[in-house]
Every structure is written in structure tokens, then in C-alpha cells.
Chain A
Amino acid sequence: MSAPKSRLVAVFVIIVAVLVGAAAVAPYALGSAGDTNDTAPIENQQFQPGTVLPSEDPEDGEITMESSQRGKTVLVDVGHANGVSETDLEPLLSTLVENGHEIRFYRGQRQELNESLRSADAFVVASPQQRFSNDELAGVEAFTDAGGRVLVMGGPPSVEASGGLLLGLGGFAPTAPRTADLASTYGIAYGSGYLYNMEDNDNNYKSIYAETASSGRLADGVERVVVRDAVPIRTNGGTQVLVGSEGTTLSTTRDAGRYAVLARSQGGNVTAVGDTSFVTRENAYDADNEVLIGNLADFLVTGDKAEGAPTPPGADSPSESGSGAGPAQPPREPTPAPS
């Protein structure tokens, strides 16, 4: 009986060895070894850095002024709940100070605008959120009639967030710059909507390039500038200085066209820009923005403003009855042509 027993054991061992061995080899033989398929490479050329990384323009250059004028006074409006702060305007204001000019702010507290304008040579208004009163509008008109220079800047309505990070949260109040009254006096109108360009832009559809459309001091040395939040400007008899590059489209109509973002009034004493972003320190060195800022500084100080305009309310001539602080006097000299 001993021989069959050992034979049984041998059979048992052989069977176990064959079965376990077969189980070990089977996955390789059957080609089902776990994640082998998962390692097969998949080409995603659209993810490669060379494909997805956008080009970035270098930011360099200096803001310089050509004008040799000194000692002009530039009044900056911060008294109409302006959507642009003194900090945002700093590159322009610093340039003026560095070149020997004085900056004063109109805060709307101690004195009237017209009183402040009287001793100023130029006036800068950026994104006012409060309307200019009729007296103030008349005062600014008298100011430019007397040769004072005015720079008006304003972008599309900004959405003021009063709560939350994303749209749809909290209270949002769209606040449009109240530039219409001021600009329309000089045949300049701010359009609605905003400008964008899906093809030719500085890494965002709203960061459009504006190219020079006419010659003149404001466009001197400027090939193209970057504006990041612009509205179109329409003029009556004025000069379009900068227009959006080809493919620039208006958001409200989706029509592509040549939209002006910087224009100069017919008389030449008023320049209107449909954007306020280009002047901030963050964007001041994009493309030729630094050249444009220098040119705008030159524009502000190269006027030839007569002393004492606008005149005080009591000093108006009898023939101009009932117009308050309006354009009491005709310009003392013809409006200077654009220089």
C-alpha cells in the first residue's frame, strides 16, 4: 500500500505545480497583464508649450517729454467720483512733475471747479462718475476757448462689485463714465459697448492694439498702443489719432471696423481717449504706450491759455445775462491750431 500512497502524493504535487505555474504564465500568454494598454502614448500636439504659450511683448522704454515748457499748472479732476484714481494716473502725472510742471487736484470741496480752472493751464478728467453741472461745463468751455488744454479719458461702463468674486453675486452697479456732456461740447461722442479683437490682440480679446490714423504731435513716434478696455469715439470735424487695428469689433453690434480710440477736437484744445487703462503703470510700457503718455503730457503743457479764464460769475459782460459762469467772454484770441 506504500507505493500507491507516494504515487498519489506525487500526482498531487504535479497537479498543483502545473496549475499554479499555468496561472502565473497565463497573463503573459493571453496578453491581459493589467494596465499595459494604459501606457500606450497618445499624441496631444495641441497641448505642447510651443503650441499653447502665447507670445508676450517686451515691456520697455521710457516716458519722455519733447516740450521745453516749464511751470505749467495741470489740474486733475478727482471731484466727480472719478473711476480712475490718482494712483492710476501716476505715470502721466509723474512725467509732468519731472519736467517742471505743477499738478493740482480738483476735489470739489473747498472751491468751485471754475475757480480752480482759472489758475490752471490744462485740465485732466478721467472717468467721471458724476455729471458736470451746467456751470462747470460752461466753465470748461470758456477754459478751452481761452486756450486751455483738456484731456478727457473714459472707458466702458465698469461693473462695481459690492460683493463676491464672480458675476451674479451681491450687488453690481454698472457705472458709465459721465463723459458725454463734456465731450459733446467739442463734437466728440463716446460710443456704447466696448471694443475687442479676437485675432490681433495682446493676449486678451479686449486688449486691442490701436494704430496711428493721422500724423501730428499726439501720434509722433507711436506705431501702436495697447488699450485694454476701450470704447469707440466718434467725432464731428475732429481728428482721429488712433484707431483699433484691423479686426477690431464693437461688442454691441459685432461689426468690425475702424473705431477711433483717441481723437482730437476740431479746435485742437481737447483730446479724448476711449480708455483709461493705457496710462496705468502696469500698462504704461506695453507697445508704444510710453510714447503716447509722453505725447499727451506734451499736449497738456503746450497750450497757450489766457490768464483768468473762466472769468468769475460777477465779471461777465452785461450782454451775457442769465448765463451764470458761462462762457462770459469770447476768446481773446483765436483758438490755437493743433501743434
Chain B
Amino acid sequence: MSNSPDGGSLTQAQSYALVVVAAVLLSAILAPVAYDRATQPDGTVAVVTIEGPITSGSATAVQKDLREARENESIDAVVLNVDSPGGGAAASEQLYLSVQRTAAEMPVVASVTSTGASGAYYAMLPAEDIYVTPASIVGSVGVRAAAPGPSLPGEVKSGPDKASATADQRRTQVETLQNAFVGSVMKHRSDDLELSRTEVAHAKVYSGARAVDNGMADDIGSTQDAIRQAANAADLDDYEVYRKEPPQTGGLLLLSADDGGGVVVERSPVGYETVDTPTLLMVYGSVQTESEVIGNVSA
């Protein structure tokens, strides 16, 4: 730039050059933003994992993931990536309610990679589609009550039903939860089900192919297929996938003592262990033992 003698005005060419430079500079800042906007996906599909035994701890973590998905406006659909044999009855119900809440706001699709049985099947009932593979299993719509633990010698109780229940009471509890479970299956799947309410209550597990055939599941497909279906349901042509880290929690442990007595312990993810007897379970299969923890329990 040449300095004019009075320093006041530029030549016309200088002015144009200055404007062009300013415009290029401004564009250099705005162009990437515009480019990003043009190439930005229409939305996001969140993948939430339900893995391992359902305990109050793992259920809380999944509930948190689902709540985040609901509150995050950039998330338009949720895929449940399920590999769980179920777990505690109350925790499974909590998951069901949370998935139901999410499904009321955005498309939810479930993908069973290996096992989606009992409490885990309960949890994914509100999903609009359940994807399975031929070898994955779903079903086991039932409740079981473990036998009550032995009372401690010399224990003083305030009432006859404190810390114990009669067989009649436990049968009634199981029947009550079973009614709720089977009722939920019929509520969400009765349009597709080829099975009667009684057949569902037999609590059988079905392989993926059989489940699609009888309406316990909807389609054969991978988690990718489930993601695509969720995006379609949310009208997303172009989407990105956000995978939530699976919750890291302790499992449902069954500790067996040397004398043959046993106690079920739910290990809390926050580090303390409470000895408990969660007598009502929605779980398929037998619960694993962890004998090395026996020393921590004086039961």
C-alpha cells in the first residue's frame, strides 16, 4: 500500500483490494461452518447396551443412558443392544418403564445379539421392533422365587412375617408379578403374537427364528439392521451412530457356603456389599457362583 500524502484516502483499487481481502478472511472463517452444516447428518441414533444380569445397579446405569438420550436433542432414535438373561424382578420392571418412557418420545428398536430372556425381554417390550439372529434366544416370560434363607440362630424378630414369607405368600407374590409380566407382553405384542396368553406364561425360551415365526420377535437381523430401522423410523436419511459405553457393574452373585446354605448377594457398583436375599427373580438359567467371595459373608 502506498501512503498518500495526507494519509486519508485510498485509491479505488486499494479499496477493492481491502474489501476482497476482508471478504476472503471472513469467508475463511465461515466456509468451514457452512461446509459442516451442509454435510452434517440429519440426526443421531444412540446405541444403549443392556448386558449381563440386570441388577438395580446395572438398571440404574441403563436408565441414565436412556434419560440422556431423551434429553439430548441431537439424538433421534435409540437402539437397545441386548445380551442379558434377565435379573432382579424389580430392576427389570424399572428398565421396562424407562424404555417405555423413551419409546414414547422417539423410535426405540431392540437388537438381541445373544440372549434377551426373562427380565431382559421384559425391558425391551416397548421397542417397536425386536431384531434377533437365528441363534439368539428370547422369551422365558416368568418369575421365580428363591427359597428363603435360613434364619440366623438366636435371631429375634418383631413379627411372624419379618424376614420370611410363607409358601402361600411367595406363591401369591410370584403370581402377581407374573400377571404384570405376561400382561405387559400381551399389551405390547398381542398384535403380532401367534401364542396365547397361557402359552406365553409357560415361560419357554425361543430361538430367534422361532421367535420371529411366533411373534415374540419381529425380524432376523444384526444390530446394524436395527440401527438402520431405527433411523428409518425417525426419518433420518443421513445419521451418525453414538454408542453408549455399556455400564460396568457387579453382577448378581450367588454365594454358596460350605454347609450348603446359600445367600444371594447383589453387589453394588459403588463398592459396598449388602447381604440381601432378592427372592423374586426374572432370570433365565442358573445363577453363577463366586466362591471366592464367601469369606466376606458371614451367613
Contact = CB atoms under 8 A, between A and B. Distances in A.
A199 B147 CA distance: 25
A203 B172 contact: yes
A204 B175 contact: yes
B222 interface: no
A167 B180 contact: no
The contact size tier of chain A is: 20 to 34
Interface residues of B, number: 39
B167 interface: yes
B168 A282 contact: yes
A170 B183 CA distance: 35
A37 B187 contact: no
Contact of A203 (B104, B149, B175, B183): B175
A155 to B, nearest CB: 15
A164 interface: yes
Contacts of B146: 165-166
Contacts of B171: 202-204, 207
Interface string A7-37: 0000000000000000000000000101101
Contacts of B198: 198-199
B101 interface: yes
Which of A53, A56, A165 is most buried by chain B, counting CB atoms within 10 A of its CB?
A: A165
B172 A52 contact: no
A248 to B, nearest CB: 13
Interface string A43-71: 01111000111101000000000000000
B124 to A, nearest CB: 16
Interface in B86-105: 97, 100-101, 104-105
A40 interface: yes
Interface in B133-152: 146-147, 149
Nearest to B184: A46
Contact of B254 (A52, A53, A162, A169): A169
B76 to A, nearest CB: 14
Nearest to A171: B260
Nearest to A41: B104
A37 B105 contact: yes
A60 to B, nearest CB: 14
Contact of A163 (B101, B260, B263): B260
Interface string A108-145: 00000000000000000000000000000000000000
B220 to A, nearest CB: 28
B260 A162 contact: yes
A162 B257 CA distance: 11
B201 A169 contact: no
* 3 residue pairs, one from A and one from B, having the closest CB atoms: A46-B183, A168-B286, A52-B179
Interface of A: 32, 34-35, 37-38, 40, 42, 44-47, 51-54, 56, 161-170, 198-199, 202-204, 207, 282
15 contacts: A32-B73, A46-B179, A51-B180, A53-B179, A54-B175, A165-B147, A165-B256, A166-B146, A166-B287, A168-B286, A168-B287, A169-B254, A169-B289, A198-B201, A198-B202
